[in-house]
Amino acid sequence: MAVRKVLIYPDVHLKEICAPVVNFDESVEQLLQDLVDTMVDAGHSVGIAAPQLGNLRRAAVVDVSKSKLGKKQRNHGLLQMINPEIVEKAGSQIVREGCMSVPDYTGNVTRSESIVVQFLDQKQQLKVIRTEGFEAIAIQHELDHLDGLLFLDRVSSLKTDLFRRKK
């Protein structure tokens, strides 16, 4: 279990659709731990998906509980998600997002206000959770990675909705 190098756009792996996890062997446990370790090591991250580490399996982790926005709302703590799928969406909001794989920019994207997501956890137990606010945004962002999408793909105008990060 280790901190891994995060792939940076335009790495081609970031645009690939990930395959479902079918074999629940030790490598899946290791992948989840590497995702958690890498997210925590970044210091500011609230989520990361397997393709950001060059692993093209449907796995992601999210934990908004330690972030300023996540502390303001009820959340589920550390979510280790295998084969996650959003099964219900409601509402719409425009939010500013950033990404470890696109370190120099943030952008305005449209996300659902609340979602229901189902996934297998690290113990292969089926979980179905309803969430809203910042946690819902973070989950939607990470699940996009599993489908080869970056927040850049959801920015409606690169001219008006993409912003260079301040150093």
Structural domains for the chain: 12-164 (3.90.45.10)
- pLDDT on residue 156: 86
Q: Splitting the chain (167 residues) into consecutive groups of 10 residues, what average pLDDT does each group show? A: 94 98 97 98 96 98 91 90 98 97 97 98 97 97 98 93 90
- pLDDT on residue 22: 97
Residue whose structure tokens are 């891994």:
4
- pLDDT on residue 68: 84
Residues with catalytic function: 142
Question: Exposed, middle or buried by CB within 10 Å (0-12, 13-18, 19+), for 155?
Answer: buried
Residue whose structure tokens are 């659902």:
112
- pLDDT on residue 1: 65
